[in-house]
Amino acid sequence: MPIPEDVTGDEIDKDVRQELQSLPKTLAEDVAKNLVMVARLIDEEPERAYGYSRVALRLASRVAAVREAAGFAAYATQKYSEALAEFRAARRMTGTVDLWPMMADCERGLGRPEKALDMAGAPEVQKLDKAGQVEMRLVAAGARRDMDQLDAAIVTLQSPELASSSVQPWTARLRYAYADALLAVGRESEAREWFAKAVEADRDGSTDASDRLAELDGVEFVDALDEDEAEVPAEAAAEPAKADADTSESAGANDGDTESAATAEDDGDKD
């Protein structure tokens, strides 16, 4: 797959660069460039990101960072079985538990929420950092909802991290998930409160909490593009009508002047 000229491979994280030092220099550069493309495209164009991840995987399948990137790209394209396999491979290579929540969420994606819940209660969770533990809580709550255990999902999300007034990288998503869980059981006023709290914490717009809050407040959004498209046919219809009127007026002229009729016809054509 083509690599843009502005991509050098130096953009990758220093830890990943260190992993790639085990490869020949030219090969390491090629792998790095493909990993940069995965990171650049995964949010907006996940299918293309997936393509670059496959190239990197073909070049360096024994590098943990490559397996991890391939896992995230597969996950982004809902290829959960493939993502799970890549995450497991990366975990075997590194010996860390960082990908445990992602592996559990892949189990959800494969229709196995019970397995995800089992993983949420495993000893590996205690080895996760705070961000990882919050992520695991979100996955577990999602699994509860998959199983129609809506009240249990709410309880799962209730935690010191949710109650904290400090804003952390996970705060907006945690508050959003809690608001959404409350709304699912009809606790609308509480849901509104927590969507508002999610908006306060969502500094980079990672959720649509503001839209959800507006919906609860009865605000309707109108797509400006749709309005423009609706106006175009009306204007187009008006032009033929005007042309027909001009033609009729010319045809009814008492003197039957040929030049005037031709001029009117030309005007109709321009319209």
- Count of H-run helices and E-run strands, the chain: 15, 0
Q: Answer for the pair 41, 28: CB distance below 8 angstroms, yes or no.
A: no
Q: Answer for the pair 57, 92: CB distance below 8 angstroms, yes or no.
A: no
Write the pLDDT tens digit of every residue in 103-140. Answer: 999 999 999 999 999 999 999 999 999 999 999 999 99
Task: Of 32, 40, 105, 109, give the one whose Cα is nearest residue 65.
Answer: 32
CATH of 1-96, one of 1.10.10, 1.10.3470, 1.25.40, 1.10.1060: 1.25.40
Q: Answer for the pair 104, 119: CB distance below 8 angstroms, yes or no.
A: yes
Q: Answer for the pair 166, 146: CB distance below 8 angstroms, yes or no.
A: no
Tokens 């904290």 identify what position? Answer: 164
pLDDT, position 245 = 47
Q: Answer for the pair 104, 78: CB distance below 8 angstroms, yes or no.
A: no
Residue spans of the domains in the chain: they are: 1-96, 226-270
DSSP element (H, E) containing 103: helix 100-109
DSSP readout, 167-208? --TTHHHHHHHHHHHHHHTT-HHHHHHHHHHHHHH-TT--S-
pLDDT, position 220 = 73
Torsion sign over Cα 181, 185, 190, 193: positive
Write the pLDDT tens digit of every residue in 58-82. Answer: 999 999 999 999 999 999 999 999 9
Q: Answer for the pair 67, 36: CB distance below 8 angstroms, yes or no.
A: no
pLDDT, position 260 = 42
pLDDT, position 219 = 81
Low-confidence ranges of the chain (pLDDT < 70): 221-271
Contacts of 28 (CB under 8 A, 6+ apart): 9, 20, 21
- Between CA 162 and CA 172 the distance in angstroms is 10
- Between CA 181 and CA 145 the distance in angstroms is 8
